[in-house]
Structure 1
Amino acid sequence: MYSQEDALVLKAKELVYSNPTEAIKIADHLLNISHEPQEFAIANMLLAKSYMTKGDYKKAIIYAFDDQNQLEKVAIKTRIENNILKSTLLRKLYLDTQSIEYLNKASVLVSKVSSEKKLYEYHIFLEHINMLLDRLSVNEAIIKLKETELQFKNFLNENVDEKRAYHFVYAKAYNSLTKYDSAFVHIDKTFELLNASNKINLYEKALIYKESGLLFLKNKEFKKSKETLFIALQIAEVLDNPFLLKEINRDLAISYLASNQKNEHKVYYEKFLFLNNSVEEIEQGAVNTYYNIISSQEESQLESYNQKYTKYLYLSIAIALFIIIVGVLILLKSESRKKRNREIINYLEVSRNIFTKVKPTISAKKQTSKRLVIPEETEQNIILKLKRFEKSLKFLNKDMSLALLAGQFETNTKYLSEIINKNYNDNFNTFINKLRVNYIIEKLKNDTNYINYKISFLADESGFSSHSNFTIVFKGIVGMSPATFIKLLVKEREEIMKNEDTK
């Protein structure tokens, strides 16, 4: 027989993704009346999920990383869910290494359970896929989806909600690859399963409508795009999630611009810029909170350890171990941070290799038979012209297009597009955007004046039509915003100067 507390837990679980504000009120009450570690862990997880739904990642981090969530007295399934939740939060904050660490912890715990094992394995698998999609490793995500399709076939047929999530990630992947027919097939299945579900999940619903609106936008169905995005916007406003609102307003602004409705475009573009600033502040606050919590937990553990052995002969050994452990952790963190900074500073060299050393993907191999047959002499001539084009600055021309470049090369657009796709594994727009991003990174690295320029100047200098377009493309290619990249570059230079002074 269920107690009053059990009934409140069930009610809060129903409201987490549909009415997170009400779910927070119930979970707060549960936290206040909790006495056992399991009760605290459940209340903390409900609060963390609710705040994540609202886009308040700072508070979500606080409750997800509470010490009591991983105590031995907490049910193993609750600890599995908590680790997956931590992984999701850290993925959204671009802390990939830490995200994978908690996903691995969840996997270890899953190996110890017998019931609902497939469910937790599927959630871990889905989190891996979402990370690949977020980091634009789309082909790898598709391969992983296909490889594991048989593994979860029976499970998905028995679980409507999980099957819907499966089709949704497929739709996102194909949308990113501009395979719109396949994307529409999966988004239609997603909507079909959404309508068949008895659960109310406004957060997932907003994501699905947002992705559908983006798909219509890319397919140049601007009317349907705006209609679908408006539905997503209404849902996101109910949830008051700034991350969702930012992305939806951005897509609406692009849709209106494509429809030549400049006044409407200006309205939504200004909303996007405002929300983008808010989102960056939230992300930074959440990351700082995470590191503060982890540091505090480590200090608490070490303090407890020292107190336990204060009156014993092994005090000196404990202190020595403590110093060694802390020293190793600091060294590892320092080396990891330096390695990351070096990778950022050396990005230009790495990205150049993308154009010449990209290995064909499985999907590319499968489509080899469908490529245009281009005379070898013609192909080699165009490749030579592309190499000269890379070394020139013509790609900074804002009017640069496939048709314009084909005209300059004295060839047709189909030949040029096919050769770029074949030799660089990119479409024309990605090819040009990478050249532009590489150009501005080179400037930032070699000319100290550039780090003091405004982002809008950098955007114009590198050939982008707008500040927002530059930021979106830069973040998509490099994995961080231009402002964050510049901060890391400045920090790296300061460390180099500091090291030189100490020599």
Structure 2
Amino acid sequence: MIRKYSFLGYLLILFVFVQPLRGQTKSSNSAQDLLDFNELKEVIAAQPEDSLKLEVAQASLDKARYRLDTLRMANAYYFLSKFNRSNQLRYADSLIVITKGKSYERYPALGYLRKGNVRYEEGNYKEALEFYLIASKSAKENGNELLYLKLKFNIGLLKNTAGEREEAQAIFLEYLNFLDQNPKLKTSNLYNRVLFALTDSYIYSNQFNLAEDYIDKGIQEALKTNDISIYSNFVVYSGMYKYFSKNYNQAIDSLEKGKNLIQKSDEVKTRIAICDYYIARSYQDQGKVEQSMQYFKNVDRILKETEDVIPELIDTYDYLIADSKAKKNLEKQIEYINTLLRLDSIRHANQIYLTKNINERYDTVELISEKEKLIDQLQHDKFLKEETITILIVFLVILIIVATYGFRKSYVNKRRFLRLLEDQKTKESNLLDFVDISANISKKQDIDIPKDVIETVLKKLHNFENSTKFSKKHYTLNSLAKELNTNSAYLSKIINVYKNVNFANYLNNLRIDFAVDELASNKSLRSYTIKAIAEEVGFKNAQSFSSAFYKKTGIYPSYFIKHLEI
């Protein structure tokens, strides 16, 4: 009965949208029977099937075209881009074209947001970021604060994916505070999504106490709003937290529960793979190897099926290869090594995850040696079959490709290492005192700051750069501005214009340059752990230090230290 009434409602709406206006001409009241954004959203949400949602949106578009109503055409294009997956980019482009240059609150920002979301789902994070940035600018210019913060949140998700956890957390917390302070704009879907993002970021940056707080809060909110999908995610994170806390039996229980919920509500295979991975790790750490292998094999199956490579899951193949080797199952060893090589290459093709590449995980020479041993043993034992030979040939081709890539990567890294040393020597031989920069100031863009203030701040920055305080103290923009007797707005603008970076990258670059100088001149420092070196030069942890070092130099600190010792 409910379905009949929904369909009847749809027919009435369709009739209103598509019937021509008989005996009427265009007038000031020509758009009265057209729905605005929120009304159209509610009508579409009420439809029980996507096909009906599409028909309503299309009917709305036809009516808006007839009335030459650009804003309502844009509304219809937006919803068509959400529900017509085969043409979503075309509809988003149409939305952008008809609203570009107009001061609509939502447009063209929502069009760029849709394009960014499509690219994000495809794993094309670089293009997704570009579209999000354009959309953010549009939303800000048109005074849509909520949309602006939503886009900033999406950029935060990209930062979190790229490993820039601290910056992402600041964005997530800002959005959470905004929603708390604006309850009329706070929907359960938005709020739970932010809690989920924060939990994810804290888990993967090993901030387990904070993660626990947000897991508890997320579970409470999900139960309050009956959001089964998000509840299942928090149950999974609860299991992960218990794993890292070494409460393995509790971890397995929560992960199994979360997995069952995911399978019932909305089966996302990669989320199931994460559950299986941490269940396997829990059994493995308890010494229950055979039980763990069943779950690692589930992860392998899902990764092969989806090719959606989550970096942490790659460790699955370390366990599977080791298990096959212990059982002397040569065919499985080859199969798992082949899969590892293929999935790891997919991961690196994304150029997002700042993790070790395949040459660091499996040295090319060792892989070739392992391959030769396997081939010799298979020939000796006369277990070669036609399928096995084919696998080995494919494996050899992959190895050659990987070896070529490895040699090229090694060559590029070596050049970057030598250039870094050369730059460091050049800086040592060209150390000059601060000179009058008044002539250079006039060449820069006008940033609405008195010239004498700019010169004073630059002199103080010069002294700050020549000190090592930045390596001993945690600085924020406000704290440095206070130390230099200026305000944070001036300092931020001056750094952006005269140093060509934002404040965070300015500090990171100083610390990386300092680290390079210290490592090159101080042999004892090279014996420190990466974590200890990071703390020595001003970073909070090894991960943020390695990421910043690679971003500035193109090589990791471990590589730099290793080759200094050669």
Task: With the length of structure 2 as denominator, give the TM-score of the two structures.
Answer: 0.48
Q: How does 1:63-462 map to 2 (within 5 A)?
A: 63-66=131-134, 67-71=136-140, 73=142, 75-110=144-179, 111-146=181-216, 148=217, 152=221, 154-156=223-225, 158-197=226-265, 202=268, 205-216=269-280, 218-219=282-283, 220=289, 221-234=291-304, 236-237=306-307, 241=308, 243-244=309-310, 247-252=312-317, 254-260=319-325, 261-280=332-351, 326-329=493-496, 332-333=503-504, 336-338=507-509, 340-341=511-512, 438=528
Whole-angstrom CA distance in 1 between matches of 2:214 and 2:316: 28
- Quote the offset at 1:104 in angstroms: 4.1
Distance 1:475 1:139, change over 3 A: same
Whole-angstrom CA distance in 1 between matches of 2:220 and 2:552: 40
Matched, 1:48 2:121: no
Distance 1:335 1:477, change over 3 A: closer
Identity, in percent, stands at 10
1:268-314 CA distance string (max 9 Å, x none): 23224423432447769xxxxxxxxxxxxxxxxx97x87xxxxxxxx
Distance 1:140 1:29, change over 3 A: same
Give the gaps of 5 or more residues in structure 2: 1-34, 41-59, 62-73, 284-288, 326-331, 356-443, 455-488, 520-525, 536-540, 562-566
Whole-angstrom CA distance in 2 between matches of 1:216 and 1:92: 24
Is the Cα–Cα contact under 8 Å of residues 232 and 262 in structure 2 kept in the other structure? Answer: yes
Counterpart residue number, 2:125:
57
Q: Pairwise CA RMSD of aligned residues? A: 4.8
Counterpart residue number, 1:455:
none
Q: Partner amino acid for 1:128?
A: L
Distance 1:206 1:475, change over 3 A: farther
Distance 1:163 1:327, change over 3 A: same
- Quote the offset at 1:108 in angstroms: 4.8
- Quote the offset at 1:58 in angstroms: 0.6
Whole-angstrom CA distance in 2 between matches of 1:481 and 1:270: 27
1:147-169 CA distance string (max 9 Å, x none): x368526534x222221222232
Is the Cα–Cα contact under 8 Å of residues 107 and 121 in structure 1 kept in the other structure? Answer: yes
- Secondary structure in structure 2 of the residue aligned to 1:48: helix
Whole-angstrom CA distance in 2 between matches of 1:255 and 1:190: 24
Counterpart residue number, 1:379:
none
Counterpart residue number, 1:462:
none
Is the Cα–Cα contact under 8 Å of residues 253 and 264 in structure 1 kept in the other structure? Answer: no
Give the paired residue count: 338
Is the Cα–Cα contact under 8 Å of residues 81 and 91 in structure 2 kept in the other structure? Answer: yes
Q: Partner amino acid for 1:327?
A: I
Whole-angstrom CA distance in 2 between matches of 1:444 and 1:79: 35
- Quote the offset at 1:59 in angstroms: 0.8
Distance 1:165 1:28, change over 3 A: farther
Counterpart residue number, 2:412:
none
- Quote the offset at 1:141 in angstroms: 1.5
Q: Partner amino acid for 1:270?
A: L
Give the gaps of 5 or more residues in structure 1: 285-301, 307-314, 349-435, 446-473, 494-503
Is the Cα–Cα contact under 8 Å of residues 24 and 47 in structure 1 kept in the other structure? Answer: yes
Counterpart residue number, 2:92:
27
Whole-angstrom CA distance in 2 between matches of 1:166 and 1:214: 14
- Quote the offset at 1:131 in angstroms: 1.2
Distance 1:279 1:254, change over 3 A: farther
Distance 1:264 1:70, change over 3 A: same
- Quote the offset at 1:267 in angstroms: 0.8
Whole-angstrom CA distance in 2 between matches of 1:326 and 1:345: 27
Distance 1:26 1:60, change over 3 A: same
Counterpart residue number, 2:11:
none
1:224-253 CA distance string (max 9 Å, x none): 32442245325533xxx5x43x55554245
Whole-angstrom CA distance in 1 between matches of 2:247 and 2:87: 40
Is the Cα–Cα contact under 8 Å of residues 253 and 268 in structure 1 kept in the other structure? Answer: no
- Secondary structure in structure 2 of the residue aligned to 1:152: helix
Is the Cα–Cα contact under 8 Å of residues 132 and 154 in structure 2 kept in the other structure? Answer: yes
- Quote the offset at 1:342 in angstroms: 8.3
Is the Cα–Cα contact under 8 Å of residues 87 and 100 in structure 1 kept in the other structure? Answer: yes
- Quote the offset at 1:190 in angstroms: 2.6
Distance 1:479 1:165, change over 3 A: farther
- Quote the offset at 1:143 in angstroms: 4.2
Look at both structures and tell me which one has the larger radius of gyration over its CA atoms: 2
- Quote the offset at 1:437 in angstroms: 9.5
- Secondary structure in structure 2 of the residue aligned to 1:42: helix
- Secondary structure in structure 1 of the residue aligned to 2:106: helix
Q: Partner amino acid for 1:130?
A: D
Whole-angstrom CA distance in 2 between matches of 1:489 and 1:124: 33
Q: Partner amino acid for 1:190?
A: G
1:367-389 CA distance string (max 9 Å, x none): xxxxxxxxxxxxxxxxxxxxxxx
Is the Cα–Cα contact under 8 Å of residues 213 and 224 in structure 1 kept in the other structure? Answer: no
- Quote the offset at 1:319 in angstroms: 11
- Quote the offset at 1:7 in angstroms: 5.4
- Quote the offset at 1:38 in angstroms: 0.9
Whole-angstrom CA distance in 1 between matches of 2:551 and 2:158: 19
Distance 1:228 1:141, change over 3 A: same
Whole-angstrom CA distance in 2 between matches of 1:342 and 1:269: 36
Whole-angstrom CA distance in 2 between matches of 1:477 and 1:118: 33
Is the Cα–Cα contact under 8 Å of residues 56 and 282 in structure 1 kept in the other structure? Answer: no
Task: With the length of structure 1 as denominator, give the TM-score of the two structures.
Answer: 0.53
- Quote the offset at 1:62 in angstroms: 0.5
Distance 1:230 1:73, change over 3 A: same
Q: Partner amino acid for 2:512?
A: N
Is the Cα–Cα contact under 8 Å of residues 249 and 268 in structure 1 kept in the other structure? Answer: no
Question: Which deviates the most, 42-51 or 67-76?
Answer: 67-76
Distance 1:324 1:228, change over 3 A: closer
